[in-house]
Amino acid sequence: MIDRRDLARLVGETRADALPELIGTLAHALAVAWARLVAPSAPAVPGEVSTRATAGEIAAALNVPVSFVYELARQGRIPVSRFGRYRRFDLAAVKQALADEANSKSVRLGSVKNRRKSSRFHPSATAPLPSSNYPGDRP
């Protein structure tokens, strides 16, 4: 790992006519680093096996809808890595988390009964409407 001070010293010691080449090299390194962060399911080095997967890849491996994978991540029931707006999952860690949960709670994957219901939309959460205060509405 390059220290910021070393990098600043390198830039300070570089001749002015060589700065465009240095900037190009740094831009390439930045692009490679971002590519690894946003698309980690593709190996950055040929022959390297990636363990990070998209929600679609996890859903296909578990044979569940993609929305269910996102719901599990939102609830904190499976581990997820966040890179800005992108979410990546480690398939082995997801399978382990689901196995641990299944062993402790006897939860079936994909079961509608076991999903947490949002009280905002649940029928029992709706309060009765208040009676009207208009004089013409009274019997």
Q: pLDDT tens across 59-107, in order?
A: 998 899 999 999 999 999 999 988 888 899 988 888 888 888 888 865 4
Q: In this prediction, what percent of the chain has a pLDDT beyond 70?
A: 64
Q: What is the mean pLDDT of residues 1-20?
A: 86
Q: Give 21 or 35, the one with higher predicted confidence.
A: 21
- Helical packing angle, 19-38 and 4-13, nearest 10°: 150
Mean of the per-residue pLDDT values of the chain: 75
- CATH number for region 50-110: 1.10.10
Asked if residue 44 has pLDDT above 50, the reply is no
Over 60: is that where the pLDDT of 123 sits?
no
**Distance of alpha carbon 121 from alpha carbon 132, whole angstroms:** 24
Which position has the higher pLDDT, 68 or 109? 68
C-beta of residue 65 within 8 angstroms of C-beta of residue 112: no
Joined together, the tokens standing for residue 132 give 């009207």
Q: CB burial class (10 A; 0-12, 13-18, 19+) of residue 91?
A: middle
Q: Which pLDDT does position 107 carry in this prediction? A: 47
